[in-house]
Structure formats: C-alpha cells, structure tokens
Amino acid sequence: MSRNSSNTLLRNVSSARTANLLVRSASRRYRQTATTVLPNSPFFRHAIHTSARLQAGSGGLTNLFDADDQGARPRIQVSKLNDEGFHLSDGLVIPGGVVFVENRAFLWDVDPVGVDELSGRGKWKEEGWTKERFAIFEMVVPRPEILILGTGKSALPPPPELREYISRLGISLDIMDTRNACSTFNLLAEEGRTVAAALMPLKKVDPRTGDTR
C-alpha cells in the first residue's frame, strides 16, 4: 500500500453500531503530523479533521465521514455554540469540550469548571485541574502565541500555577466565558494570528457521545 493510501483519513462509513466505536474508528485513521503529537493523557482522546461531518442523533454521534483530503484544510471557525455543542462553519458539531490547535480539532474530555457558591470563584483545585489537562501545548511546534481559554458560561480565572505553566511555555493566556472565547478565536484566526483555543462546554457532557453526565 502506498504512503498516500495509508494516510487517507476516512472513507465513507455507514451508521456505526455505537457512537464510541465510530469515534474510535475516526481516531485510528486520523493522519497525525510531525508537529502535533497527541499527548498520552485521558483528557485528549481523539482528533478530528475539520472537513469531517459529525452529526448528533438520539444516542449521540451516529455518522462521521470525511471528504477527499485534497488541498488545504478549511480554517476552523465556530459558527454557533449551544447546548448541542460547538458548530463549526463546515458543518462539524462537537458536543463536548474541544481544543483547536494547528488548525485541528481535538476532543477535550473536561467539564466546565464549577463555581464556589460563597466566593464565586472557580473550583479548579477541587475538581482536579492540573497542567496535565493542557499537556497538548507542550507537544506543538511551533507553539501558539495566544491561548484562548473558554471556561464555560462565565469567565473563571485559573489558579496562578496553571497560568504560570502556560506562561513558561511561551504562550499568552486569555480567559473568558466560552461564547466570547469562540468569537475571539474566530477573529484572531481570521487575522492570521498563531492562536489556539481550549474551550470547555456549557454543561457537563461526554465529548464522544454527546450525552449529559
């Protein structure tokens, strides 16, 4: 088999038996690049080509197919955000958290940060937020100049240790609610900036199936 044949992302697939089998199949066939390596972390499970179509059905994700991988990939743009997830301009719908980097979309298995009722601050430490959840940015060469962090329905500044970790990577961190984070990412990407986004969903949801958890 030729290299070009082995690097084909996905051929048309019919409805999968389960949403999990479907997404795992997409992940296995995704063509990795030399500059973006998926970290060995439970938080970064799958990579999706931006020309793919991922549709939500009653049980989660029911169909995924990829167009012919010819020419440049379309630039990632978020056209809409609602309870169904992130709707990209090419029709892809990502139900849960997502990381955009190097013009690729990675499923990000995280929930939005909870809010302490007394202080109004994010419960980052209580919910186990560590640098491991941002490990993908250690793998990217060159690294983005800006990381837009969307923290759900409201902007919740992370603890100093997380900010310092991102800063040590040479990345400027901007924190905002996820809706504004999507708009800011779109604008900076359109301007040609080297920008990445780590976007938490609006509610707790399994990024592989779209089911509320």
Asked whether the beta carbons of 125 and 150 are under 8 A apart, the reply is no
C-alpha span between 23 and 54 (Å, rounded): 9
C-alpha span between 132 and 145 (Å, rounded): 20
**pLDDT tens digit at each of 213 positions of the chain:** 544 443 332 233 233 333 333 333 333 322 333 234 444 444 444 444 443 333 333 222 222 234 344 445 678 999 999 988 999 988 888 999 999 998 888 888 899 999 988 888 999 988 899 999 998 899 888 899 999 999 999 999 999 999 999 999 999 999 999 999 999 999 999 999 999 999 999 999 887 778 888
Q: Quick one: CA dihedral 122, 86, 60, 10, positive or negative? A: negative
Q: Which of helix, strand or coil describes residue 29?
A: helix
Residues 29-58 have pLDDT tens digits of 223 332 344 444 444 444 444 433 333 332
- Record the pTM: 0.69
Residue 190 CA: distances (Å) to CA of 107, 177, 184: 22, 20, 10
Asked whether the beta carbons of 93 and 55 are under 8 A apart, the reply is yes
Q: Which amino acid is at 28?
A: R
Residues 6+ apart with CB under 8 A from 173: 146, 147, 149, 163, 166, 167
Tell me the CA end-to-end span of the chain in Å, nearest whole number. Answer: 42
